[in-house]
Amino acid sequence: MTRTPYDPEAEGAQMSFDDHMSYGDYLHLDKILTAQSPLSAAHDEMLFIVQHQASEIWMRLVIHELTSVCDHIARDDLAPSFKMLARVSRILDQLNSAWDVLRTMTPSEYTTFREALGMSSGFQSFQYRAIEFLAGNKNAAMMRPHEHRPAIHAWLKEILQAPSIYDQSIRLLVRKGFAIDKSVTDRNCALPYHANDSVRDAWLTIYRNPEAHWPLYELAEKLVDFEDYFRRWRFNHVTTVERIIGFKTGTGGTSGVNYLRKMLDVVLFPELWNVRTDL
């Protein structure tokens, strides 16, 4: 028996978009899908471009969420920040999965287009730098690759100098009555954070009696979740690069895998990890 082809218009679906906004219009797909411009004839360069562009789009959302987290914590409005931090952790999980796709590219395939990359390198990602600054890994030296883009440089400087999500969390502890050293509360937020005993003691009090401090306890665990997934992303980056280029120098002039391994030693929220030993 011959079946009549299904026609969505018969059920009321909009099929003509001369005067209506379509799916592609709303998402600006004409811009997104024409942004892949390989510089070589190598088949795998398209994979390399798409993987990194997709990651940058996810990072755009991470920045959106973390910026809002800082604002909500500063206003003692914790419930929305829990949802946002949980979302960021899921995004980082997506970014981790992206490395699995890139790892299908072999060293031989990468060498067919590596020279086309010139001095461009992932460590120059201004969005990644913004995420690091928002999370508290402040390093003004990492802004220099963006000096040729004044608007981006100014934006990063603003994030560098602003309180990170951990700075905001510590200020929240003060507002909730915990005694935090002034060296922490009055510190220059543009500088790297260093662990402090008074902050550790505050989190220890919270972890020893979660029921009495449940919102702060939940915030602490959401921050740990975030850093856990962030560490996995960094680790998968290292193993992916080592699998593809070994210990060669990175395209941007860094030491490659050795540079990335140094990033694995960065701890964003030290007291939240140290308190586990103290409990």
Nearest-angstrom CA–CA distance, 71 and 172? 12
State the distance between the two ends of the chain, measured CA to CA, in whole angstroms.
Answer: 72
Instruction: Give the burial class of 25: count Cβ atoms within 10 A of its Cβ; 0-12 exposed, 13-18 middle, 19 or more buried.
Output: exposed
One DSSP character per residue, 76-104 reads T-HHHHHHHHHHHHHHHHHHHHHHHHHTT
114 annotated as ligand-binding: yes
Nearest-angstrom CA–CA distance, 79 and 138? 27
Q: What angle do CA 123, 126, 127 make, to 5 degrees?
A: 105
Contact between 47 and 102 (Cβ < 8 Å): yes
94 annotated as ligand-binding: no
237 annotated as ligand-binding: yes
Contact between 127 and 60 (Cβ < 8 Å): yes
49 annotated as ligand-binding: yes
48 annotated as ligand-binding: yes
269 annotated as ligand-binding: no
267 annotated as ligand-binding: no
53 annotated as ligand-binding: no
- Please report, in range form, the residues annotated as the binding site for substrate: 48-52, 110, 114, 251
- Please report, in range form, the residues annotated as the binding site for heme: 237
- Please report, in range form, the residues annotated as the binding site: 48-52, 110, 114, 237, 251
